[in-house]
Amino acid sequence: MHLYLLRHGEAGHKAPSDFERELTTEGEQSAENVGKFCVDSLIHFTHVLSSPLHRAIQTARCVLRNLPDVSIEETEFLTPDSDPQNLLAHLRSFSMDSRILLVTHEPFVSSCISSIISGTEAVNIVMKPATFVFIETSGVPARGNGRLRWILPPSVIENLL
């Protein structure tokens, strides 16, 4: 299975609640750049899962602007304080040839990546807004069976376009 994890783009802080925070103009642009990178790199997704928080949904929509139409499934398994094991259990329902974009938040995304590639949550991975990661799993996604193929911060993506 191919898992693409993306931390949402830069978000503003003025909102009635954390749930409603919106992307800044820079956040929208960096998310759109991820989509352009995917087009240029011939990356497409069979599924897109997103945290239900507004900034994550906005990020997913920006990424998908230039890609084939894929619906966005909102899931509580990608919120900031989620347990990576719940996501891994959910991913078992997808076929092994799936290419899944997961749009999420810190601290969840770092601990999730660590769990998939090392079997623990001890690996210190820095995921700034709009950082894009590709992990390939051996079999059904589980603790420690993933291989980190690349991690691209937004500045690198911008330079590749």
pLDDT of residue 159: 95
Does the structure show a pLDDT above 90 at 27?
Answer: yes
pLDDT of residue 138: 83
pLDDT band at 110 (very low <50, low <70, confident <90, very high): very high
Whole-number Å distance between alpha carbons of 48 and 42: 16
pLDDT band at 74 (very low <50, low <70, confident <90, very high): very high
Percent of the chain with pLDDT over 90: 82
Does the structure show a pLDDT above 90 at 134?
Answer: yes
Average pLDDT of the chain, as a whole number:
94
pLDDT of residue 136: 97
What average pLDDT does the segment 1-11 reach? 96
Does the structure show a pLDDT above 90 at 33?
Answer: yes
What average pLDDT does the segment 52-62 reach? 97
Residues recorded for the chain: 161
- 14 or 104, which is more confident? 104
pLDDT of residue 69: 83
Domain boundaries, the chain: 2-160
Does the structure show a pLDDT above 80 at 35?
Answer: yes
Q: DSSP string covering 88-150, please?
A: HHHHTTS-TT-EEEEEE-TTHHHHHHHHHHHSSS-S-----TT-EEEEEESSS--TT-EEEEE
Does the structure show a pLDDT above 80 at 19?
Answer: no
Burial readout 107-141 (b: 16 or more C-beta within 10 A, e: otherwise): ebbbbbbbbbbeeebeeebebebbbbbbbebeeeb
Which CATH superfamily includes the segment(s) 2-160?
Answer: Phosphoglycerate mutase-like (3.40.50.1240)
